[in-house]
Amino acid sequence: MEILENAQKMLEKYPLCNHCLGRQVALLGYELDNQKRGEALKVLLAMKGHQLIPVKKREGISLLQTLAGNGSYNVAAELLKKMRKKVGTKRDCYLCEEQFRSVHELTAKSIEKLTYYEHKTFLVGIKLPVAVEEREDEFKAEFNVKHGENMRNEFSREIGKEISKVTEKEVDYKTPDIVVIINPFIKQVILQVNPLHIAGRYKKLIRGIPQSKWLCRECGGKGCIKCNWSGKTYSESVEEIIATPTLEKTQGEDALFHAAGREDVDARMLGHGRPYVLEIKKPRKRFIDLQDLMQIINKQAQGKVKVLNLRFTFKDEIRKLKKGEAAEKTYKVLIEFNSNVSDEEIEILEKTFSNAVIHQRTPLRVLHRRADRIREKYIYETKIKRLTLNRVELRVRCQGGLYIKELITGDEGRTDPNVTTISGVKANPLELDVIGIDMKGFEK
């Protein structure tokens, strides 16, 4: 039997524990663990040795001695003792240096650390010293191992199984709540607590609140006279309004706010709100009541910000959100013209800005943070309602990323066409609201 012969050759040359011997035939036999595979090989080899003694005594004794020494196999040692033969000393496993013995200890250590963080799923990740991995690779090459697995897999599976048995949490390869990173050779256990993602939509009911935390430009957040020692240009932001109560609930370390685009500080965000995902780093609590959180946020931010449709989600949604910046948006703008506009002019504006392509060079006001280039954006439809002789309410449904204020003012000719040049009267946007964001894949 080739497997058995190969196992014998391995043991003659190197000391191997049951795990490491069994791992070389890991792909053979189901419902077995490597420890059992290794033990089975040693049992068979001991029987073979025993059988040889009456016919080829020296060969038989030598095999038993190999098993007792390099195999640390007690059955072989007992046989030798009975025959009053030299047993020899057990030697530490060449591949794992007997680290599989610390599986229980590493499991206990992992469980202790895991108790501080709520989780349903986990994954064990194994780090091995480079020398250990290289040694195993060379070993496999030397014995032409075809049905083996690597040491990392075995450690990960064995410890994962034990943790699961004690904690009743499930191993999840794709999106585990926590990854337990273990280096068995230095008995190190580190937790990588994966972020928690909560998706929702927010409405901004008043003007004057930025979407994200806005550090004081003067002091960069340290606090100075200009910012009244707050370190911030605006005392609050949508981000902080949503993140602060969420961090309290989840006992997370930090939160990142991701949204599908942003509105200006002085624009409201109405309609069904803007989709966002809040990413909470290292949460101690994961299974929070989102209805409850929603109520807390909405109560604290009453009249300013309102969140809706909170739900748990995964990291991929952040990517989708970023793509969503280009989603279809609907805006409402209150415009004041420097002189009266006629109904005819209003009609012309509606026509010009429906099914139209707008060429827009990066607005002067954002040039400091965005590259200067020309964007082409599509307007699906524009509706205008007259309010007074020189005031109108304009509703525009367009491709995301179109700068609306500049569409009105013309931004010194950088946006073409624009309301000011088409009407022939200088147009000023007084108030801007986002009233609709249509994103495929995001419920309203």
Residues making contact with Zn ion (CB under 5 A): 17, 19-20, 93, 95-96, 216, 218-219, 224, 226-227
Residues 18 and 40: beta-carbon distance below 8 Å = no
The least distance separating Zn ion from the CB of residue 406, rounded to whole angstroms, comes to 29
How far is it, in rounded angstroms, from Cα 176 to Cα 114? 13
Residue 82 burial (CB count, 10 A): 8
Instruction: Identify which of residues 101 and 281 has a Cβ nearer to Zn ion in the complex.
Output: 101
Instruction: Identify which of residues 53 and 132 has a Cβ nearer to Zn ion in the complex.
Output: 132
Residues 6+ apart with CB under 8 A from 408: 333, 335, 394, 418, 419, 420, 427, 428, 429
How far is it, in rounded angstroms, from Cα 66 to Cα 69? 5
* Cα torsion 95, 98, 101, 106: sign: negative
How far is it, in rounded angstroms, from Cα 320 to Cα 315? 9
- Write the DSSP assignment of 353-414 as a string of letters: TSSEEEEEE--GGGTTTS---EEEEEEEEEEEEE-SSSEEEEEEEEETT--HHHHHH-TTTT
Residues 190 and 106: beta-carbon distance below 8 Å = no
The least distance separating Zn ion from the CB of residue 253, rounded to whole angstroms, comes to 25
The least distance separating Zn ion from the CB of residue 9, rounded to whole angstroms, comes to 17
The least distance separating Zn ion from the CB of residue 218, rounded to whole angstroms, comes to 4
The DSSP secondary-structure symbol of 114 reads H
C-alpha dihedral, 110 to 111 to 116 to 117, nearest 10°: 80
How far is it, in rounded angstroms, from Cα 256 to Cα 341? 46
Instruction: Identify which of residues 219 and 435 has a Cβ nearer to Zn ion in the complex.
Output: 219
Instruction: Identify which of residues 215 and 334 has a Cβ nearer to Zn ion in the complex.
Output: 215
Instruction: Identify which of residues 86 and 226 has a Cβ nearer to Zn ion in the complex.
Output: 226
The least distance separating Zn ion from the CB of residue 140, rounded to whole angstroms, comes to 14
The least distance separating Zn ion from the CB of residue 319, rounded to whole angstroms, comes to 34
Q: Buried (b) or exposed (e) across 216-239, using 16+ Cβ within 10 A?
A: beebeeeeeeebeeebbbbebbbb
Instruction: Identify which of residues 14 and 276 has a Cβ nearer to Zn ion in the complex.
Output: 14
Chain centroid to CA 185: 28
The least distance separating Zn ion from the CB of residue 96, rounded to whole angstroms, comes to 3
Q: Which two tokens stand for residue 181?
A: 């990173």
How far is it, in rounded angstroms, from Cα 216 to Cα 49? 81
The DSSP secondary-structure symbol of 426 reads -
Instruction: Identify which of residues 94 and 337 has a Cβ nearer to Zn ion in the complex.
Output: 94
Q: Is 33 a known active-site residue?
A: no
Residues 106 and 189: beta-carbon distance below 8 Å = yes
The least distance separating Zn ion from the CB of residue 155, rounded to whole angstroms, comes to 11
Among 33, 92, 254, 264, the one annotated catalytic: 264
Instruction: Identify which of residues 226 and 323 has a Cβ nearer to Zn ion in the complex.
Output: 226
Instruction: Give me the residue label for tokens 């806005």.
Output: 214
Residues 70 and 92: beta-carbon distance below 8 Å = no
Residues 314 and 199: beta-carbon distance below 8 Å = no
Please identify every residue annotated as catalytic. 264
